[in-house]
Structure 1
Amino acid sequence: MPPQKSTSGTAATRAPRRQRGRERVAALLAAAAACFVEKGYAGTTMTEVAARAGSAIGSLYQFFPTRELLAQALLDDCTDDLYGRLQRLAAQAPALDTDRLGATLIRLLVDFRRRHPAFVALIESAPIPIAQALAVRRRVRAELQAVLAAHAPWRDARELHAAATVAQQLMKAAVAVNAEPGMPGRKAALDGLRHALQLYLREALAR
Structure 2
Amino acid sequence: MSNQRRNPQQERGEKRLSQLLEAAASVMADVGYEAATMTQIAELAQASIGTLYQYFPNKEALMNALRQQYIDEMKMRWAPFTATPSKLSIKQLVDRIFDIVLDYIEKRPAYFPLLGTPRGNQRDPSGRSWLREHFAALFREKLPEMTLEESFRVANVTVQVLKGMHPLYLETSPEEKQEIVAEFKLLLMSYLKARLKA
TM-score under structure 2 normalisation?
0.68
Question: Which consecutive unaligned segments of at least 5 residues does structure 1 have?
Answer: 1-16
CA distance, structure 2, for counterparts of residue 185 and residue 45 of structure 1: 32
Query: Which residue of the other structure, out of 21, 30, 44, is the alignment partner of 1:29?
Result: 21
Supply the AA of the counterpart residue of 1:73. A
- Kindly indicate whether residue 66 of structure 2 is the aligned counterpart of residue 74 of structure 1: yes
* Higher alpha-carbon deviation: 108-117 or 140-149: 108-117
Amino acid at match of 2:108: H
% of aligned pairs identical? 26
1:145 aligns with 2:136: yes
**Tell me, which stretches of 5 or more residues in structure 2 are unaligned?**
1-8
Displacement of 1:177? 3.4
Distance 1:51 1:140, change over 3 A: same
Aligned to 2:81: 89
Separation in 2, partners of 1:199, 1:120:
23
Q: How many residues align?
A: 190
- Structure 1 length-normalised TM: 0.66
| Alignment root-mean-square deviation, CA | 3.8
Q: Name the SS for the 2:82 alignment partner.
A: helix
* Contact kept? 1:35, 1:44, Cα under 8 Å: yes
Distance in structure 1 (CA, Å) of the matches to 2:85 and 2:78: 10
Compared CA separation, residues 205 and 121, structure 1 to 2 (3 A): closer
Q: Which of 24-33 and 157-166 deviates more?
A: 157-166
Trace 1:177-196 onto structure 2 (pairs within 5 A): 177-181=168-172, 186-196=177-187
Deviation of 1:101 after TM superposition, in Å, equals 0.6
Looking at structure 1, the residues matched to 57 and 83 of structure 2 have their Cα atoms a distance apart, in angstroms, of: 38
Q: Verify the 8 A CA contact 2:68 2:127 in the aligned structure 1.
A: no
Q: Residue deviations 1:136-193, cap 9 Å, x none?
A: 6643222111122233435443443343234233323332432343599653343233
- Equivalent of residue 152 in structure 2, options 152, 156, 161: 161
Shift in alpha-carbon separation, 1:189–1:33, aligned structure 2, 3 A = closer
Q: Which moved more, 1:25-34 or 1:76-85?
A: 76-85
Letter in 2 for 1:61: Y
Deviation of 1:90 (Å):
1.9
Aligned with 2:110: secondary structure? helix
Contact 1:31 1:49 in 2 (8 A): yes
CA contact (8 A) 1:98 1:198 kept: yes
Q: Per the alignment, do residues 133 and 94 of structure 1 end up closer, same or farther by CA in structure 2, a change over 3 Å counting?
A: same
